Amino acid sequence: MDMHAMGGGLEAGNATMTMHTECDGSLDISRKGSWQGHILPGSVFVMWGAWWAYNVCLAVLKANHSRPYAAQPWFRMGLKRFYWMEPLLKIILPPLAVSVELYFDHTAFRYLYCPKGTQYAGRYAVTHMNNWQHTSIYPAFLVSGVTDVLCLLGVPLPPGTGQSVLALAFGVMSFIMGSHRKHEPLDAAVHLLLFYSMLLVTAALLAELARPSSPALGLARAWAAVFLGAWLCEVGVIEFDGLPQWSTDYAGSAMFAPVVWAMIGLLVASALLALFASLAALQRRGLLPAPPPRVAGSGADGDCPWQGLDPKVEPRQASMGPDAGAGQTYTPVSDGQRWPAAFHIDV
């Protein structure tokens, strides 16, 4: 039997363990991933989705005839020079996540190929496969951030490019997770549910791309992102906190995982409803803050300049200055007037 192809699962206490053969032929028994490897990215998705939810709620409550609701892949932050912080973070965070995944969270670099001089030189290092599968998720988000910046700079990309690339990023994540091999029933169950969570975000983004004037789809996208992050954090708790109910030596843990997943989804939906109700109450009292100005060079609050997702709304003019969008006017247009005759960006 080729020991390099061997893989199996063990339990040490309540922590799930993985058994593989190292490049030198020795047996490796190690934890699958880490607590922080689930909690940190999970927290990022929770905050990202909450940011989307807050801004979508503002946009819905403040929408009117001259400024109807329109889908957008990202939202402007209240910073004069760095209002485009969301695209910037999509560019900065993926390389940091890759560095942590392959090096800083370990005692040595997690190489992809077995090095020369080892028994299995040139083959994939099976004990590092999980890390490399995880890192393959991040580049698509970097591409999404670069796409947003290109749109801001006035590169004439096709309509809806920003939204499409963001959907692609979550689609890549879903595909990688869906093909992620797991052996133990509990581990397989929680990661299958994680795959479903990623698919929900992807589906919401694609639906929003098709129906950009639907606030419900914008809220669905925000809900799905928070749900994804919350479940990713819960997976870290299930697999690494050593709780007896999540032991892998009996079927009850895998059977109950879908119940917890569904309840987290319901809890996130309830929190989103409470957020909307709270902001609506503030609006009735005249205390609701104004939504962020339309992002510079954006026909749909964050998509490419003259290429907004909403066919009924077009900018007359955009500016790349720090106060861009503050005094912009938006005029409903007919489908036959999709492309403005005169549009420019002041750099």
- Is 200 a domain residue? yes
Question: Is 336 among the domain residues?
Answer: yes
Flag whether pLDDT at 43 surpasses 70: yes
For the ranges 26-30, 126-130, 200-204, the lowest mean pLDDT is seen at 26-30
Tell me: pLDDT of 4 over 60: no
Domain count, the chain: 1
pLDDT band at 19 (very low <50, low <70, confident <90, very high): low
Answer whether residue 14 is part of any domain.
no
Residue with the larger pLDDT of the pair 203 and 309: 203
Q: What is the pLDDT of residue 294?
A: 54
**Which has the minimum average pLDDT: 38-47, 241-250, 268-277?**
241-250
Handedness of CA 110, 113, 116, 118 (dihedral sign): positive
Query: 3-class DSSP state for residue 345?
Result: strand
- Position 96 in a domain: yes
**pLDDT, tens digit (0-9, with 9 covering 90-100), for 117-165:** 777 787 887 777 778 888 899 999 999 999 999 988 888 888 889 999 9
pLDDT, position 308: 41
The pLDDT of residue 27 is: 67
Q: How large a percentage of the chain has pLDDT more than 90?
A: 44
Work out whether the CA dihedral 101, 170, 219, 71 comes out positive or negative. positive
Least confident range from 14-18, 86-90, 173-177, 318-322: namely 318-322
Q: Is residue 46 in some structural domain?
A: yes
Structure tokens at 295: 């992002």
How far does CA 157 lie from the centroid of its chain? 22
Give the range among 80-89, 253-262, 277-286, 329-338 with minimum mean pLDDT: 329-338
In angstroms and rounded to an integer, the radius of gyration of the C-alpha atoms of the chain is: 23
Per-residue pLDDT at 107:
65
Most confident of 9-18, 30-39, 58-67, 229-238: 229-238
Q: For residues 225 and 48, is the Cβ–Cβ distance under 8 A?
A: yes
The model's confidence at residue 346, banded by pLDDT at 50, 70 and 90, is very low
pLDDT tens for each residue of 293-341: 655 434 444 455 433 444 344 433 333 333 333 443 333 333 333 333 3
16 located within any domain: no
What pLDDT is stored for residue 115 in this prediction?
Answer: 81
pLDDT at 258 over 90: yes
CB atoms within 10 A of CB 177: 19
Residue 264 lies in a domain: yes
pTM above 0.85, yes or no: no
Give me the chain's average pLDDT, please. 78
Sign of the torsion angle spanned by Cα atoms 96, 98, 101, 105: negative
Structural domain including 159 reads: 39-346
Over residues 282-289, mean pLDDT: 86
Tell me: pLDDT of 5 over 90. no
Distance CA 230, CA 50 (A): 11
- pLDDT for 25: 67
Q: What is the pLDDT of residues 153-191, one digit of tens each?
A: 888 888 889 999 999 999 999 999 988 777 788 999 999
Q: In this structure, is residue 20 part of a structural domain? A: no
Q: What is d(CA 21, CA 3) in angstroms, rounded to the nearest whole number? A: 6
Model confidence band, residue 106 (pLDDT cutoffs 50, 70, 90):
low
